[in-house]
Structure 1
Amino acid sequence: MNQFVGITMGDPAGIGPEVSLKAIDARPEYQESVLIYGSYGVLQYYHQLLHLKTPLSVISSPSEFQPGHINIISVVDLEIGKDIEIGKVSPVAGDAAYQYIARAIHDAMESQIQVVTTAPLNKEALHKGGHNFDGHTEIFATLTGTKHYTMMLWSQNMSVVHVSTHCSLREACDRAKKVRVLECIHLAHNAMKRLGLDNPHIAVAGLNPHSGEHGLFGREEIEEIIPAIGEAQAEGLYVDGPVPPDTVFLKAYKGIYDIVVAMYHDQGHIPMKMMAFDTGVNVTLGLPIIRTSVDHGTAFDIAGKGIAKEDSMFSAVDLGIRFAKGRLQSASIH
């Protein structure tokens, strides 16, 4: 059985179509298993703009995949200059980006593809298009009926999962509860095992400066985070913490920890984007399907100029393939 990766090309007015095409064109092995969910008219425009040699093939399902081609499932008919304008927020583009995702999720749930890798969407356009989600993570959770999930940022040097993501900092403090911290520890442990680590070393970051300094700077560590760590340790997981957030990421970068459980969005995102902006991968953990993503935005300012880099797309596709292989190995064991 072929293991297919479906790239959703993201907001068609951004750099998603460009980096999706460039990635498949550059890697002959991708031309054997990677397809794009998008709009043929937009992809044809970029194919000509970039002078790519690999031919385009429009297919109606992954079962029709044509090796040696850039395979496209054209979900929405769009033309640049007619329906959308490059680099501009529009409800048409936002709705199209959602439709690409919905079709790819459907095919993944039906096991027609094994990985969904997403190019960036624009949240303003998404909302204007009638889809009131905070981002990809929430779309995937809703369309797969998933209740317990988290965002993971992965790179070769450091990985992070998040107790909370798209909410205010004030609300993030309220979300740092024992049940949620323990859930994220489990999700981090399982993810790293799927990537080949038998006993991953997990660090749980503190929420407050100096991890609360024994209650001087807040009691969240004492009342919520430490009990979660203790329960995970009692289960046999290799967990340390709460590690002060001003040093935990340096320790992870140096290899002391395999993954960090961060308490909120920027606590995890800032160090990751400093260390691996062009090669980082966003993963949604807890889903019944595999979802990876580039870790950058739509970059409207450079869209259509042919200068967008596909490095993060390479990383996202390759990590998705690793997760798929890990799932197969796990199934064969059990």
Structure 2
Amino acid sequence: MSADDQRPTTPRHRADNPVDAPSPVNGTRSGNAPGHATDDGGAAEVAGDDAGAPEVAGDDAGAPEVAGDDAGAPEVAGDDAGVPGPGVAAPLFTAHLEEGLDAALRAFAAAPTILVGLDFDGVLAPIVLDPKMSRMLPTSAAAIADLVALAGVTVAVVSGREANDLVALADVPAGTKVVGSHGAQWGTVVAGPDGAGALEASPVELSADQAELRAELIRLTHEIADGVEGAWVQEKPAAAVLHTRQAARDDAARLTQAVLDGPATRAVQVIVGKEVVEMAVLEVTKGDALVRLRPETGADAVLYAGDDTTDEDAFAVLGEGDVSIKIGDGDSAAAYRVTDPEEFSAVLVRLVQLRQGTLDTFS
């Protein structure tokens, strides 16, 4: 997430609502399907005779119980229908993924080499008021660790966040690819001396003119936002970013318009996202990132999941055999949709199950 929108128009400026496409297919079954998560984070009751089915413990305690008589749910091989995460003593409930999405995951998991591209905020981590407090869901973190350990799998976190900040917040294992600032920063997570993940990255290179323009953007944006409670300016290696999520609504609207009418009119790439306006001196998109990652990783198929408008750039470059998943509301070109990061964690767990079941095909 983090300041997401689509490709720029004049002057390299991105429209606020670029996508006019059919809504994606919902990722979980509707109607009489038990266990569908509600909008308030709870879950519907599970029908069936297995009233004693254990609940999922830990941070995903809102996940529904496993029904005993759901003959219509996709079968999962093995005795354990789920992949345990931290504090999860019972199988994670994944039986009610929408059939089309489950079929797409099955085909994707069977490809010899796969790339799993994931936005961070709103996908792996719930949106929070203070972006510095954002944390990945434990179940998603455990599933990513399992995926990275499997043969023929590359996981890439593709975010608008500054890459070092992203690694500090994201609980991802060594070997995970990291693309920060919408594609301006590139690196790989390595094991640090204390065992924690550290970013090994190439520096962002700017020309003298680009460096001067970046400094001007930062100065002008500070002049607009400084002193306004709840607003702040982020200084990225190739961009200036106005954040207004914690500001009063009137202040947020006024500051956003002032930035759009001022520094954003320079010859820069402007990204208007959820409570952010980013002005970058490098023209990059998440779609460009996937185009570069596919040959670099040798991926036969790509899955990408995102929640914000710049993720549409990534969805746009996917093709036959790839999987696109939109998290949350809003128009999207993605083929599938899930409700929130909690529901998407079940998608990751399901992908682990399917990939583990097909590994012997590639030996």
Report the TM-score when normalising by structure 1.
0.32
Q: Which has the higher contact order (CA 8 A, sep 6+)?
A: 2
TM-score, normalised via structure 2 length: 0.30
Q: Which structure carries more helix by proportion? A: 1
